[in-house]
Structure 1
Amino acid sequence: MSKKWVYLLMLSLVWGSSFILIKKGLLGLTPLQLGALRIIISGFILFTAGFKRLKNLTKKDIKWLIISGFLGTFFPAFLFAYAETEIDSAVASILNSLVPINTIIIGFVAFKMFSSKKQIIGVVIGFLGTLMLILNGASLNPDQNYLYAIMVIIATVMYAASVNIIKRHLQNIPPVTIAVGNFTAIMIPAFIVLLYSDFFTSEVLEGVHFKMSLFYIVLLSLFGTAIAKIFFNKLVQMSTPVFASSVTYLMPIVAVVWGLLDGELFNFWQAIATCVILIGVYLSNTKRIG
């Protein structure tokens, strides 16, 4: 097996496992506490490793780094945490696959980046699959509030906006520098959220699940953010962006397996809906000709 396939599989395992780690982290933490801790720990790792990279940035670069940091990391960290209080981790991972589709839509609406007919068809198919997944999930799990799935969809729109900003305004900035800049911008706001989330109280710190939840969040921050970014950068360098983006199709498989092992329900029609979404993602991810 070639190196690029090894990196692709490792990245799929790491990112695909992020959703179950969020679910486990919520056992002893609130969504606000989980999101804030995830940002602070990841930011500390990245800032310690690469703070020297920030010294040559211009004011314009800093502005877009701050905006992309809030859209691409800060708000989604909380949205996913809140969503997984009501919907299964596997469903959240599948909905996360809408990022490439939303990237196409925002690219057209905000930046006038035109798409091919195949991509437009992919967008339509992707959203039909999303509707199928949410409706089937709601009927399979009547005790869960599937309106919370909207939070994941909002997060994917924010991810997509961040990607377009990076492509448009931060094209010449190294990926590691972008990551360090993003987290440097959002670490202090995340700490403020943590302060006001009642985290530093005996009720939380002495809770039954606190230590295990903290362990899961450290794993999520270390592997799901810092190391995963290194893997992805290496994968892009040794292959192509198109090959690297295929991680989008493998992540839900890993997440669904984790979900089933954890007792989550997943029926035949949800599997069909997942396939429909991934077909839409594949079509929307084909090379633009327009």
Structure 2
Amino acid sequence: MKKITIADHKIISKIKLSNLPSILDLETNDDDIKKELKKVRKKLGKLQDTLYAHGKYSILVCLQGMDTSGKDSLIREVFKDFNARGVEVMSFKVPTELELKHDYLWRHYLALPARGKFGVHNRTHYENVLVTRVHPNYILGEKLPNIHSVEDVNDKFWDTRFNQINNFEKHLAENGTLIFKFFMNLSKDEQKRRLLRRLDLKQKNWKFSAGDLKERKLWDNYMDCYQDAINRTSKEHAPWFNIPADNKPAARLAVATILYNTLKEYKDIKEPELDDKTKANLHLYKEQLNNE
């Protein structure tokens, strides 16, 4: 099996999205990939236990991608061996009435993982520079003081919003949050195949929405917005990773491997030692229990 390396996926310079691969060929079959994923996610689960005991870092995993890019199933398969207390999954839909009464980052602040935990966000704060950029009329719903019409949602507006997102992530990183941003890079042809599958298979019908076809017509607009967002916000403290998403097993293994191989390099993440007094009296505590 071909080795997955962080360098092959991490975005460290300006990219053109059309040049990034949507297929990850690991030179093996899906069964072998799934077996390897089981091994990696078990190691990742053990590392998370240590992270929880250590209690000084939190992990924010951001998953972005077009409809059908496999975000839900990736979450299920990659984090399957985690202790439930150590991982929190959030999915951000259309903002509620309450959320619209706050600034656009408010609901994302509320969902941030505590120290010692993983927070997995299925769609993220980047919806606010992706969907809203394709549909600038959505910004009017935020009732911002200086935005009176779609014409006010101009380049200056987006420059400001990107600066706010970069500052948000920098603040998180400086306070102990390790940020991983994964772009699930799905090809338009593969999305078509997956949408047709939802229509063909009765048990998959519930996943289909006519709105998916409306958004599909705006594919090029979305790709332009993704490219700009990635280029503006892939920083060393909050990098983007391109995850070829046309093959789901390979995409899941890539995400799990990148997470594990990055986190294992943090040598300070280790279980805390007992204080000297407790250590010195371990035999007494054992004796006390055995004599009950």
Q: Do these two structures clear the TM 0.5 threshold for a shared fold by scoring above it?
A: no
Which structure: larger Rg? 2
**Which is strand-richer, 1 or 2?**
2
| Structure of higher RCO (CA pairs closer than 8 Å, 6+ residues apart) | 1
**Which is helix-richer, 1 or 2?**
1
